């Protein structure tokens, strides 16, 4: 059966502090299937392109500096309504507003260092998945 997908990134703060395993456990327990996964260290041009929609915002430079500060884990996750369901599992961008039981409630340390990224639409999920993965790296 066809399932929707989303693109997730475990951000540098979470990788650096050893939260990759616990975050993957939460993702699995919530019923997402990992269809592609790789560890990468983004360059400044790559991170700027990935977060292009935020260019010009006051937090943009800090965001790019943070996202290039260390390795990240990128993955494609399968689930029905994957984009919406994964954003629900993530919780609010600002961890102080994130609900109990969400990834950001558990692992975010600030609005910038909020542990994990999730695509915000099916269109962006497709773009972001193509940004990181070729066809032979995708197991679905």
Catalytic residues, by residue number, are 117
The answer to whether 11 and 115 are in contact (CB under 8 A) is yes
Task: Using the rule CB under 6 A, give the single segment among 30-38, 69-77, 106-114, 132-140 that binds ligand ATP.
Answer: 106-114
Q: Which of residues 109-138 bind ligand ATP (CB under 6 A)?
A: 111-112, 114, 117-118, 120
Candidates 25, 49, 59, 101; binder of ligand ATP (CB under 6 A) is 59
Q: Which stretch binds Mg ion (CB under 5 A): 1-9, 83-91, 103-111, 119-127?
A: 119-127
Structure tokens at 33: 């299937």
Torsion of CA 46, 132, 76, 95, to 10 degrees: -10
Q: Residue 4's closest CA among 111, 133, 125, 109? A: 125
- The three-state secondary structure class of 41 is coil
When asked if residue 4 is in the footprint of ligand ATP (CB under 6 A), the reply is no
Distance (Å, whole) CA 4 – CA 7: 11
- State the residues that interact with ligand ATP by CB under 6 A: 54, 59, 63, 93, 111-112, 114, 117-118, 120
- State the residues that interact with Mg ion by CB under 5 A: 120
């Amino acid at each position: 059966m066809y399932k929707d997908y989303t693109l997730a990134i475990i951000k540098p703060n979470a990788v650096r502090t050893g939260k990759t395993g616990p975050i993957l456990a939460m993702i699995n327990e919530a019923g997402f299937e990992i269809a592609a996964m790789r560890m990468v260290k983004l360059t400044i041009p790559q991170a700027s392109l990935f977060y292009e929609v935020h260019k010009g915002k006051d937090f943009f430079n800090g965001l790019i500096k943070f996202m290039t500060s260390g390795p990240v884990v990128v993955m494609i996750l399968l689930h029905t309504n994957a984009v919406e369901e994964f954003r629900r599992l993530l919780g609010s961008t600002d961890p102080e507003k994130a609900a109990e039981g969400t990834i950001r409630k558990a692992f975010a340390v600030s609005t910038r260092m909020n542990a994990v990224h999730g695509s915000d639409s099916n269109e962006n999920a497709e773009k972001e998945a193509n940004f990181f993965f070729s066809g032979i790296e995708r197991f679905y």
